[in-house]
């Protein structure tokens, strides 16, 4: 059974860096693709970034210059860092596993397992 669990500070000051970790059990992070997705309070979902099994990454242009996604295979974890945060970055942050059919086509990517989410508030 695949399980994901986000962890990190729930409160970050404006202009500082938001740091979150996703711990995965039931699947090797080296064998799949992984994502960070966020949901501002009362709003919809926004894809932030992917990290692939070869360590390569892809980011949403809306946050690209501020985001770093990385993986620690020894701990079966992957992480998100978002710099220079503002109140607009206040959201529930989810980590998720990316799934795709045998074609591996990016146009078919979907998110089949999600963490419970963690609320990060940006405030002084």
Partner 1 sequence: QSVLTQPPSVSGAPGQRVTISCTGSSSNIGADYHVHWYQQLPGTAPKLLIYGDTNRPSGVPDRFSGSKSGTSASLAITGLQAEDEAYYFCQSYDNSLSATWVFGGGTKLTVL
| Neighbouring residues of 23: CB distance < 8 A, sequence distance ≥ 6 | 4, 5, 7, 75, 76, 77
The b/e string for 39-78 (b: 16+ C-beta within 10 A; e otherwise) is eeeeeeeebbbbbeeeeebebeeebeebbebebeeeebbb
106 binds partner 1 (CB under 8 A): yes
Q: Which of 71, 94, 120, 122 binds partner 1 (CB under 8 A)?
A: 94
DSSP 102: T
Q: Which of 46, 53, 68, 83 binds partner 1 (CB under 8 A)?
A: 46
Q: Could you give the CA distance from residue 1 to residue 124 in angstroms, rounded to a whole number? A: 39
The CA-to-CA distance between both ends of the chain, in Å, stands at 39
Nearer residue to partner 1 within complex by CB, 16 or 47: 47
40 binds partner 1 (CB under 8 A): no
60 binds partner 1 (CB under 8 A): yes
- Which of the stretches 19-27, 40-48, 69-77, 83-91 binds partner 1 when contact is defined by CB under 8 A? 40-48
Nearer residue to partner 1 within complex by CB, 38 or 79: 38
87 binds partner 1 (CB under 8 A): no
Nearer residue to partner 1 within complex by CB, 29 or 49: 49
| CB distance 89 to 17 below 8 Å | no
Binding site for partner 1 (CB under 8 A): 35, 43-47, 60-62, 94, 99, 101, 106-117
């Amino acid at each position: 059974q695949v399980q994901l669990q986000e962890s990190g500070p729930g409160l970050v000051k404006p202009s500082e860096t938001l740091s979150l970790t996703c711990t995965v059990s039931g699947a090797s992070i080296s064998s799949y693709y992984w994502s960070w997705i966020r949901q501002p309070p009362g709003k919809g979902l926004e894809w932030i970034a992917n990290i692939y099994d070869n360590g390569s990454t892809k980011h949403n242009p809306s946050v690209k210059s501020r985001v770093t996604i990385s993986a620690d295979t020894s701990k079966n974890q992957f992480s998100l860092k978002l710099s220079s945060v503002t109140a607009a970055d206040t959201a529930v942050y989810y980590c998720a596993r990316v799934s795709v059919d045998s074609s591996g086509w990016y146009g078919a990517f979907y998110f089949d397992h999600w963490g419970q989410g963690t609320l990060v508030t940006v405030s002084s």
